[in-house]
Amino acid sequence: MRNAMIYVRHEPLAHLFLTYGISASDLLSDHLKVPKHLLLLPPVDEQEQIDPHTWFNIIDGADQVQDFLRSKAGQTRCWLDYSSPRFLQELTPNEIAELLYLGHAKTHLSSPFYYKLQNELVYLPLRNGMVNMYLRNESLFATFLANAINKYMRRIANEEPFWLRLRQQHFSRVSHAVYTQFLPLLEDGVVFDFRNVRFSREKISVPLLAPKARFVPDGILTDTDVRRLGMLVLMRQKNQWMMIDDAASADHRQ
């Protein structure tokens, strides 16, 4: 699992999460309501449904949205949700221009949350595999991150031939209490390093790292490039996650 990393940097004032390793399909969860409408930002695919007012592609229906989020297009297209088709007709030329800028520059010119659209999420993939993700309700990110963590845990379980019990284990979700422990660290950027997971019969430990310079996807992170923050640890018997800071995690690594 050479590229098995999650990276998150949080900018609270902008309601922005810069991420790597979290895909659009990780936004799907039994714990969250799936959007019924998505507005796809240009380029426009003339073979797909087009809104006649904005001339942007749209996706209508919860099932269609789920299929889109699981597809390749869902990972590579820029999009945002909206509450009702009739609200699209109320967008002004200036607001449509702002949306064009949002999709082109992958960043906001003004607030990316529109009163008329009542959108909760903006998903802007970057060329290097990273994603700018704006969330009106930032607490939703805890669920997205928990989904992504469990995704990598399942991959590890399938790739470890000596740990049959690991494959059979149901991995619990990272609790909100644990999430709030490392949430402040996300403002400086955190790597969840699944390439160097340590596991035993008692626990599974995921290193948490802080890059000393700008995070580059597919870059080689050596010990001199990062600062150790601690470990995200799954206690297997209780099937519960906990965070251990660096001082305590040194004992776990021994």
Residue of 19 and 171 predicted with greater confidence = 19
Residue of 75 and 165 predicted with greater confidence = 75
Q: Are residues 99 and 32 located together in one domain of the fold?
A: yes
Structure tokens at 129: 């595999």
- Domain span at residue 228 reads 141-253
Residue 224, pLDDT score = 84
> What average pLDDT score do residues 191-208 get?
90
Domain final position from 128, 157, 187: 128
Residue 164: pLDDT band (50, 70, 90) is low
Note whether residue 163 is domain-resident: yes
Note whether residue 206 is domain-resident: yes
Q: Are residues 81 and 145 located together in one domain of the fold?
A: no
Residue 156, pLDDT score = 81
Residue 81, pLDDT score = 97
Partners of 16 in beta bridges: 11, 134
Residue 163, pLDDT score = 56
Mean pLDDT of the chain: 89
Phi/psi of residue 225, nearest 5 degrees: -90, -15
Q: Evaluate whether 170 touches 154 at the Cβ level (below 8 Å).
A: no
Residue of 155 and 241 predicted with greater confidence = 241
pLDDT per position as a tens digit, 225-249:
899 999 999 998 899 999 998 755 5
Domain final position from 80, 101, 128: 128
pLDDT per position as a tens digit, 114-132:
999 999 999 999 988 999 9
Place of tokens 């240009």: 42
